[in-house]
Amino acid sequence: MIKEYKQHAVNGHESAFLRSGRMFRGFFVKTVSFVGYTVQYGCIAHCAFEYIGEFVSCSGPSMEPTITNHDVVFSERVSRHLCRIQKGDIVIAKSPFDPKMNICKRVIGLEGDKVCTSGPSDIFKTHTYVPRGHVWLEGDNLRNSTDSRSYGPIPYALIRGRVCLKLWPPHSVGVLAESPNGGRIL
C-alpha cells in the first residue's frame, strides 16, 4: 500500500511537471509566433512607406495657399525612384540644413534649367542654372519661404516623394492646385 502511494505521488508530481512544461512550451510558441508576425508586418509597413508612399502632416506657411498649416497630404515615392519628378510638382525633401527635418516645396527647375534667383519684389532679376543632379525648390508663398533662393539647388537624392493628394481637411480633399507663381517656372 505504501509502495502504491509513493508511486502515485511520483506520477502526480511528474504529470504536474509535464503540465507546466507544456504550458511553458505553449506560451513560448505563442510568443515566438507573435514576434514573427510583428516582424513580418513591420517589414511590410517599412517597404510600403519606403517604396510606395506615406502620409505627411505639413506645417509652416511656405506653401500657402496651396498647402496650409496642419494639412495632411499623401506623398508617393514611385516617381522619385523612377526619376519622374517634373517642374511644377510639389515634393517632400530632406532639409539641406537639418537632415532630421522634411521640407515641402514646389519644383521650379530641374538640372540644366535657367531659374530666377531673385525675390518677387527685387528690381533687378538674377538668374542661375541648376547643376546636374540637382533641383531648384521654392515655396508657393514667396515672401515667407526659406527655399533654394536661400540655400541654392538641392541634390535630387534629398527628395523623399512627390505630393499627389491632399487628404485633410475634408473640404479640400483632392489633387493639388497649380502654382500661384506660375510665371516663375520657366
172 versus 9: the higher-pLDDT residue is 172
The catalytically annotated residue of 6, 30, 57, 62 is 62
Same domain for 35 and 79?
no
Cβ–Cβ contacts within 10 Å for residue 101, how many?
A: 9
User: Quick check: is 62 catalytic?
Assistant: yes
Residues in the chain: 186
User: Quick check: is 100 catalytic?
Assistant: no
Q: How many domains does the chain have?
A: 2
The catalytically annotated residue of 105, 145, 148, 179 is 105
Integer CA distances (angstroms), 58 to 16, 38, 72, 166, in order: 60, 29, 6, 10
pLDDT tens per residue, range 52-104:
888 999 898 989 888 888 999 999 988 877 778 899 899 999 998 888 999 99
| Residue that finishes a domain, picked among 33, 51, 69 | 51
Cβ-Cβ contacts under 8 Å for 128 (sequence gap 6 or more):
114, 115, 117
Same domain for 166 and 88?
yes
Longest CA–CA span in the chain (Å) reads: 113
Residue 176 domain boundaries:
53-184
Q: What is the mean pLDDT of the chain?
A: 82
Integer CA distances (angstroms), 68 to 45, 64, 122, 176, 177, in order: 28, 5, 26, 12, 12
Same domain for 47 and 31?
yes
Same domain for 121 and 163?
yes
